[in-house]
Structure formats: C-alpha cells, structure tokens
Amino acid sequence: MTLDAAVRVRRDGFTLDVTLTAAAGETVAVLGPNGAGKTTLLRALAGLDEMEGRVVLDGEVLEDTSEGVHVPAERRRAGLVFQDHVLFPHLSVVENVAFGLRAQKRPHAAAVAQRWLVEAGLGDRAGALPRALSGGQAQRVALIRALATEPKLLLLDEPLSALDVSVRAEVRRELTRQLDSFHGVRLLVTHDPLEAMALAHRLVVLEGGLVVQSGTPDEVTARPRSRFVADLAGVNLLRGRAHGDQVVLARDASVAAVGAGEGDVFAVIHPRAVALYRTRPDGTPRNVWHGEVESVDLHGDRVRVRVKGPVPLVAEVTRGATLELGLTAGATVWMAVKATEVSVYPA
Amino acid sequence: MLRRALAPVALFLVAACGLQSPGAPARTALTVFAAASLQPAFDKIGKILETSQNVDMTFSYAGTQTLVAQLTQGAPADVFASADTAHMASLQSAGLVQESQIFAHNRLQIAAAKGNPKGIRSLADLARPGLVAVLADPSVPAGKYAQQALAKAQVTVHPASLEQQVTGVLSKVALGEADAGIVYVSDIVTSGKVDGVAIPDDQNVIADYPIAILKPAQNASGAKAFVDLVLAADGQAILKAAGFGGV
Amino acid sequence: MSRAKIPAAIGILAAVGLLLFLVPLAGLIVRAPWNQALGELTDPTTTTALGLSVFCSLTATAIALILGIPLAMILARTRGTLRNVLRALTTLPMVLPPVVGGVALLLAFGRRGLVGSLLYQAFGIQIPFTTAAAVMAETFVAMPFLVIAVEAGLRSLDHRYEEAARSLGAGYWRVFIRVTLPLLRPAIFSGAVLCWARALGEFGATITFAGNFPGRTQTVPIAVYLALETRPEAAITLSLILLVVSVAILAGMRERWLGAL
C-alpha cells in the first residue's frame, strides 16, 4: 500500500507544491518551520481543503484535478489526528472512539471501542468526558479514535507539540508503539525536529511551500540544505558560488575551503570551529572576518555567540572566554575559521 | 468669547418672542379627546378655532372607551366628545365632567368594498357563510350599537375581528381584508373609499354624541369657545356635511 | 475578588437602573386584586387567551427552529457583502416597530397582498384574522432572535470538530446531527427561549395582521390591552400571569444549558 501525492495549493499569495510518496510500514515526517505549508498539505491530503494535482492511495485515485476527481473527506479512509486532540466534548471517551465505527456501520461499535481502550491501558477512562482527561490521555484517545476505523492513511498534525514537555516523552513512546503496529501509510507533520527525528523513518523538509530536502534523518542533518535544517543540526550554513578553493558569498565576502569545486554550493561550518578575537588575529586560518555580536546565549557550560556581519556565524565558546573577552551584544569581534573546517557540497 | 456671543442671541430670542404681534395675547393650547368617528369633522372645526381664537389645537382620536380609560387615569384634556351617552355618564359619576350636551347624532351603515362586489344588500347578508365581516368590539360604542342593530334584525354574525375603534372596521374594509363591516354613516361619507349599504330605520340605531368640558380643564375659556363653535351654525354645518345628523 | 472600591456615582446610577425595573414590577404585584385573582384566573376570557397565547407562541418557536437554524447556518458560512445584506434582512424584524411589521404582513399576505392575492384568487385561502395569521405575526418578529443566537453559536464553533467527524467517515447528516447540533445546544436553547418570550409578548403585529377575536386571535397581550379599558382587574391579573411565566422561564434557564445569555 502506497501513497503517491502531487499536491499544489495556491492561496493568498502562498503556493504549496509538493510531490511525495510514502509506503506502508514507514513513518514519513514532513518537517518545516511554521508557515511552511505543512498543515495545508495534510488538510489537502485529508480532503478537507481544495488542491490541484493527483493523490493516489492504495491504487484508489482520491484526487485528480485533470480528471475532475475529488473523493470527499468522509470517504477517504484517511484518519486525522489533530494537535490538540479535538475529541468531541459532548461524547464520552468510548463514544468518541466508537464514532468512526458507527459511521462505518460496524456492529458492536461500543464493544470494539472498549477493547481498543483497554488494550491501550485507558479502559478505566472509557466513561469519562474528554475534559476530565489529562492532555496526554486525551491525545492518546485521539490516536485510538483514528486508528479504530482502520484507515489506510494516518495523518498526524504535530501530535506532540500541544503537550507539556514532561508528558511528551511518554506519549511519544506510546505513539511509536501504535505506529509500528499500524499497517497503513503514516504521515506526520511537525516543526519540532526532535519529534521528527524520534518518530520518522524518512524526513521531508518543507520550506516556503517547497520540498527542499528529503531522506533519512541522518542523511538530512549530515548535509543540511536549508537554514532550518542547519539550525536543527546546530551548524552554520552558508550558500555561494565555488571557484576552486574559494566560495564567494553574497556581499562579496568569501570563504576559503579545501576542494570546493565549481558552481552553486552549500558551505557548513560547525560553531565549535569558529574562534573569536577582539583584535584582528594573525595566523594560519585563511578565513578571518569582522563582525558585531548580536546575542550571547548560555547553553549549559557553553556559550553560543551570534555574530552579524558580511559572514554571519554562530560561534560556540566557553563561558570563561566570553567573560575574558568582554563579549556582549554590540561588541565588535573578529572571527577565524580554518579552511579545513569548512565542508562544502553541491547545492 | 462665548459670553460675548450670548448677549445678542438672548436679545434676538426675546425680540422674536415679542414679535408675534405687538400687544396680541399669547397663543393658548387646547386639548380635545374625541371619538374616532369625529375626526374629519372636528379637524375642520379645530382649524376655524385656531385662526379665530389664536389657539393651538391638539386632538386625540380613539375609541370612546379608550379615551374614557385614559381620562380616568388622569390624562390631561380640556374637552371630551363621546360616541354614546353611557361613557359620558361614567365620566360624570367619576366627577370628571359637569354637564354635557348632545351636539350630533349618527346612524349605522354597512360598509362594503367599492363597487360592492359581494352584492351586500342588508344586515342579513353579513351572516352569509364565507363572507368576511368585521365589527367594532362591543366595548366600543359603534360595536355596541352594531350588536343592537343586529339583534333588531335578528341576524347572528361571526365576525373575523373585533376592532378597537370604528375607524378600524372601516380601514379593514377599505384595505380589502374584510368584505363588510358595520360603521357610522359619517365614516362612509368622509371616507370615499368604500360603498355604503343603508340599514332600514327599524333596524338602525341612533347614536347620541354628547360633548362636555372636563373639570380639571387647563384652558376653560378655550374649551367653552370650542364647545360653542361645535353647537353653532358653522360647526353644525360641518358636522352635517360629514354625514352626522345635527341638533 | 478584587477589593477595589466602586465609585459612588456608578453605584447610584446602577441603583436608579435597578429601580426602573423594580418599581413597575412592584406596582403590578402590590396593586393586584388578589382577592379577585382566582375568579379572574378561571374566567373563560382569561383561560382562552392564555391557551391561545401558549399555542401560538410555541408554534411560532417551532417554526423558528425549523426555518431559523438552516438560515443561521447559511448566514454563518457567508462572508462580505452578501452576509451583510442577509444579516440586515434577518434582523430587520427586530428593529422594525411591530405595527409596521403587521402592516407589511398585510401588504404581503392580505387578500390584496403580494402573495396573499394569489392564494386568495387561486385557492380561496384568506390568511388575515386567522390563528395562522397570529402565528405568522409572532414568527415574523421573534425568529430573528433565534437566528442571531444560533449564528453566533455557529461562528464560535470550532470547525475542527466537524472536520474530525468527517475524517472518521461521517457524512453530512451524521456530522450535523451527532456533532454540530449537540455542540450548538446552548445557543439553540437560549435562542429558542428568547424567541418564545418575544412571541408570547407580541402585540402590534398581531393585532394589525390577525385582528382581535377571542379564542382565535386574541392573545394575552391583546386581551390585557382591551381589558384595561373595560375590566382593569382582569388586565392586571393577566399581566401578573405573564409576569410569573416570564420569571419562571428566567429562573428555569440554568446557566449550563445556556452558556452565557
């Protein structure tokens, strides 16, 4: 069972254009910053919003604009799990889970629903109303409600982000367990890299309505192709044109790298490789730039110093160093990076 | 700056008040409560008084019973003209009027749509099944009279509605909502929008209209002037032209 | 609770406002002819008017529910100029003087009316002066209350409940009956109560369009109006009954059924 989707949505000056495939048995996470179009994509696949393109699920054409095919949401066998559960407030937990079963005209809906709940360890909450549940319990019920109808496609919209951090880990474990035993196609949408990394087999990175990168979590973070992923991976990402050992950036700044090649490239510099000075240094590093400190953030024992200038970078140094150098916002600094510390790959 | 503007404005206002006519008496106000059927005639009479006596006339027309209820609750008025003697008597026993005088008579007539499409000839026709007939409520003089006339004619009518004042009956017929109604002759004369079907004398009722000055009258002299005008030749001529019988 | 002191001026104004409500009610209760009350209560005029009023107002409310909820749904889904126009139309009866409403109904459904003339000439149907006319007059003035309340409820409804239901396989009617309506219950309930109260008290449109006849079109407000001129004790008793009914409605409306009224 596979999902083949080519989705285009145009709205208010925003265009979403995504092509993706997902096979049963793998969890695909669509990752991207807010406003990237992730929820739009999900809603289009669920049949709730208008789209152009073609969506085929398990051989059935759900959407084909050129043929005028549009299967309405209620006939799609696509289960949807919202960020904040959206359980029906006027129905008990077991009635919530039974809702889809009744819509499918399955016999003994309440009994089947009860079994699902008991299996998930929520049997004792069956008669409660959603408002009596904790955030984590409600989200788990929402998942069960979607799974009970045995959909072919499971769509999860940021399933953990509305939960307290302390509860997240537990629900994530439960989610992983449920997803692994789910036999359909699973598509998860999130802006939280941790959620994506923990749950996904495959990542699709979405920015500004377009897919900028896809692959396994390791592949994606090893070679970031966007600021978002770079931030995710915690590295500095620069983009420019390579000529031999030089990469020319915007504003005429350039970075010396070893074997940069030719053409459009990404250049990655790890913050640990950035050294900071108050005065212009003299030494082997080929890359020396001038800049102004934008912010200084404590991360445990280390400090991340964000520097703006022709080559904006984040440097990771020790606390002692920042105190010694008097690094505060507005201070002028010099940065130095060894050419060998710059990794370059084609854009 | 405001104070400087105030003086000439004040002067202007004082002058304007005095500018009506040098040495003329101030305009007085007179309030007359009158039965609804009297409206066309009294409006005309009132105009005469306004010019000749320098009076600002205010008329309140409604069903007689409505006016009596208002007057007993303390509504201020100078003159009251009723469509029957019974209501005037109730005001007399309440001590609100002294003496009253009959100033006009009225008779009943059937009102039908222009052209009389339903061919109504008599009171008996009002009982025709399928005919929409409207009467005034028995608490209204016109309604009471209508019941008397129907009793005399030995006709039982099932009215579609019981109106609060006789002009309500007239308007329902004029609007085409009702096929027929029992109103006063004066209503038909002044309306022009409906046809009248006569009721024979032996079935008809003569309505006596009394007029009186109210005891707590604010403008006693004006009230007397109005009543005198109503009883005088000019007033009587107007009433006759409106379909009333004079005294 | 905040211990900030409320200025005296506000307290005084509020007290005056409260008196404006209390004094007339007190007048009604104090001046009521209690010793005659029972007699008046069982008087056929009173019971007939009451029965008719209850029947007409409940019927009007039922019609308002059947027609008003779909209207509210359309209103809630439209936007822009169309919505403004529709909204103005549906709230017009609320701001129109009731007598004007009655006149309008006559011009539309009277024997010479826009629609009424067709009905009369083709089928011999006459609407004015019938109980149906009284119900129509009450529906005309009271339905907007229901529509507005339900529309507000719909707009504040989270669309995602309906979307979740659809994603679970529920078709239009199942979503409507099992999700939308139950979630709308407070709005529908408060709208229906307001509608019923307004219908019960309707006078101007009823007397203009339906006229006045005991047992057929003489509702309690009309009966009170008439009785005031001839039998004031009956008028006061009827007024008291209506007052008691209104208070009972208010007291019976529990907040959890209403949300915020």
Sign of CA dihedral C34, C36, C41, C42: positive
Distance CA C45, CA C110 (A): 27
> Where does the pLDDT of residue B104 fall: very low under 50, low under 70, confident under 90, or very high at 90 and above?
very high
Phi, psi (degrees; rounded to nearest 5) at A77: 55, 40
How much of chain B, in percent, has pLDDT values that exceed 90? 64
More confident residue, C93 or B17: C93
Nearest CA in chain C to B159: C213
Closest CA–CA distance from residue C164 to any residue of chain A (Å): 7
Q: H or E element: which one contains A282? A: none
Contact residues, chain C, for A73 at CB < 8 Å: 163, 166-167
pLDDT exceeds 50 at position A79: yes
> Where does the pLDDT of residue B7 fall: very low under 50, low under 70, confident under 90, or very high at 90 and above?
low
Distance CA B47, CA B45 (A): 5
What domains does chain B contain, in order, with CATH numbers?
25-105+208-241 (3.40.190.10), 106-206 (3.40.190.10)
Going by beta carbons, is chain B in contact with chain A, meaning 3 or more pairs sit under 8 Å apart?
no
CA neighbor of A344 nearest in space, from A234, A257, A228 = A257
> Where does the pLDDT of residue A41 fall: very low under 50, low under 70, confident under 90, or very high at 90 and above?
very high
pLDDT at B10: 56
pLDDT exceeds 90 at position B163: yes
More confident residue, C24 or B121: B121
In a mutagenesis test of the A interface, which of C160, C161, C168, C177 is the best target, namely the one with the most A β-carbons within 10 Å?
Answer: C168
Contact residues, chain B, for C106 at CB < 8 Å: 175, 177
Q: Do C128 and B177 touch (CB under 8 A)?
A: yes
Q: What are the helix and strand counts (H, E) for chain B?
A: 9, 9
Phi, psi (degrees; rounded to nearest 5) at A299: -130, 85
> Where does the pLDDT of residue C77 fall: very low under 50, low under 70, confident under 90, or very high at 90 and above?
confident
Q: Do A86 and C158 touch (CB under 8 A)?
A: yes
> Where does the pLDDT of residue A138 fall: very low under 50, low under 70, confident under 90, or very high at 90 and above?
very high
pLDDT at A218: 80
Contact residues, chain C, for B163 at CB < 8 Å: 211-212
Is residue C151 classed exposed, middle or buried when 0-12, 13-18 and 19+ CB atoms within 10 A define those classes? buried
pLDDT at C261: 41
CA neighbor of B219 nearest in space, from B20, B77, B74 = B77
Task: Give yes or no for C186 touching B (CB within 8 A).
Answer: no
> Where does the pLDDT of residue B43 fall: very low under 50, low under 70, confident under 90, or very high at 90 and above?
very high
Distance CA B238, CA A255 (A): 112
Distance CA A171, CA A177 (A): 10
Nearest CA in chain C to A95: C178
- In terms of average pLDDT, the best of A85-89, B22-26, B217-221 is A85-89
> Where does the pLDDT of residue C260 fall: very low under 50, low under 70, confident under 90, or very high at 90 and above?
very low
Taking the alpha carbons at both ends of chain B, their separation in whole angstroms is 66
Contact residues, chain C, for B159 at CB < 8 Å: 213
Q: Do A90 and C174 touch (CB under 8 A)?
A: no
E-state strands within B114-205: 133-136, 161-163, 180-184, 194-198
Give the residue-averaged pLDDT of A240-255. 84
> Where does the pLDDT of residue C217 fall: very low under 50, low under 70, confident under 90, or very high at 90 and above?
very high
pLDDT in tens, A104-127: 999 999 999 999 999 988 889 889
Q: Do A103 and C174 touch (CB under 8 A)?
A: yes
Nearest CA in chain B to C120: B177
pLDDT in tens, C138-149: 999 999 999 999
Nearest residue, CB atoms, C212 vs list B66, B163, B175: B163
The pTM of the full predicted model, rounded to 2 decimals, is: 0.76
pLDDT in tens, A305-314: 888 888 888 8
Pair of tokens at residue A284: 């082997």
- What is the strand order of the sheet A287-299 is part of? A275-277, A332-337, A287-299, A302-308, A313-318
Task: Give yes or no for A99 touching C (CB within 8 A).
Answer: yes
Distance CA C257, CA A129 (A): 17
Closest CA–CA distance from residue C207 to any residue of chain B (Å): 9
Nearest residue, CB atoms, B161 vs list C110, C111, C212: C212
> Where does the pLDDT of residue B196 fall: very low under 50, low under 70, confident under 90, or very high at 90 and above?
very high
Q: Do A88 and C166 touch (CB under 8 A)?
A: no
Distance CA A109, CA A93 (A): 13
Q: Do C169 and A78 touch (CB under 8 A)?
A: no
> Where does the pLDDT of residue C239 fall: very low under 50, low under 70, confident under 90, or very high at 90 and above?
confident
Long-range interactions of B48-54: CB distance < 8 A, separation 24+:
B48/B229, B48/B234, B49/B222, B49/B225, B49/B226, B49/B229, B53/B28, B53/B222, B53/B225, B54/B24, B54/B25, B54/B27, B54/B28
Above 0.90 for ipTM, yes or no? no
Distance CA A30, CA C125 (A): 66
Q: Do B160 and C226 touch (CB under 8 A)?
A: no
Looking at this protein, which amino acid is placed at residue B199? I
Per DSSP, the three-state class of A57 is strand
Burial C28-65 (b: 16+ CB within 10 A, else e): eeeebeeeeeeebeebebbebbbebbeebbebbbebbb
Phi, psi (degrees; rounded to nearest 5) at B78: -105, -40
CB pairs under 8 A between A and C: 59
